[in-house]
């Protein structure tokens, strides 16, 4: 059985953990940061830059006008950003062509649409996301709930903006997904088993 599964997720909802566990359950490879490593190999860009732009919408500087003439310039920042996105898409398609896979984020549901993937969106209540983020802080790391909420909202705002720019669809809206699951207070290990069963049965019937 060839499973192509994509997972969109709110920051702090446990989408990454769910994806990893789902990959274990279905015995298929899982890709998240691995895609960025591959972009790095194929491009002149450093990891910090790739990480920065890989799920970020590019912003173009408006063209300048002087009287009736245009001041032509190359928007290098924009071109590099689109370059990373394009490489990322090539890699996603290569992965999906080769074998089953679970892809986290990156608008993969849209990039891989010709493969008819099973698209999941993972979300949770803010309290649950804050608690999850707190439980993952490193020792000695200090951050208030207020700051955490600000980070969560900012990250999701970027993801939404990236997704909607490249796909023309609404991030987190049911029209793009086969399954949307709220992980508030959930045991994600058990949830991954149940979702793996559900997906196995759906693939069996189609």
User: Does residue 7 belong to the site contacting its own copies (CB under 8 A)?
Assistant: no
CB of 185 to its own copies, least distance (A): 6
d(CA 189, CA 60): 42
CB of 181 to its own copies, least distance (A): 6
Binding to its own copies by CB under 8 A, coded x per residue (else -) over 46-65, reads --------------------
Secondary element (H or E) of residue 31: strand 30-31
User: Does residue 197 belong to the site contacting its own copies (CB under 8 A)?
Assistant: yes
User: Does residue 179 belong to the site contacting its own copies (CB under 8 A)?
Assistant: yes
d(CA 105, CA 57): 13
User: Does residue 126 belong to the site contacting its own copies (CB under 8 A)?
Assistant: no
As given in the structure block, the two tokens for residue 124 are 């949770």
Stretch that binds its own copies, among 38-46, 90-98, 152-160, 196-204 (CB under 8 A): 196-204
d(CA 89, CA 105): 12
User: Does residue 187 belong to the site contacting its own copies (CB under 8 A)?
Assistant: yes
DSSP string computed for 123-135: E--HHHHHHHHHH
């Amino acid at each position: 059985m060839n499973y192509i599964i994509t997972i969109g997720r709110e920051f702090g909802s446990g989408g990454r953990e769910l994806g990893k566990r789902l990959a274990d359950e279905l015995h298929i490879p899982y890709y998240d940061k691995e895609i960025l490593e591959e972009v790095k190999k194929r491009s002149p860009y450093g990891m910090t830059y790739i990480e920065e732009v890989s799920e970020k919408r590019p912003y173009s500087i408006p063209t300048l006008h002087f009287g009736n003439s245009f001041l032509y310039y190359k928007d290098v920042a924009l071109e590099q950003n689109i370059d990373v996105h394009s490489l990322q898409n090539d890699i996603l398609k290569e992965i999906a062509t080769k074998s089953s896979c679970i892809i986290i984020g990156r608008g993969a549901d849209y990039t891989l649409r010709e493969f008819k993937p099973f698209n999941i969106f993972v979300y949770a209540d803010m309290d649950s996301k804050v608690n999850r983020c707190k439980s993952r802080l490193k020792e000695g790391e200090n951050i208030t709930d207020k700051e955490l909420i600000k980070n969560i909202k900012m990250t999701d705002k970027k993801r939404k903006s990236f997704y909607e720019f490249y796909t023309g669809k609404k991030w987190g809206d049911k029209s793009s997904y086969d399954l949307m699951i709220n992980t508030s207070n959930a045991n994600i290990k058990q949830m991954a088993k149940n979702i793996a069963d559900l997906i196995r049965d759906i693939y069996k019937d189609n």
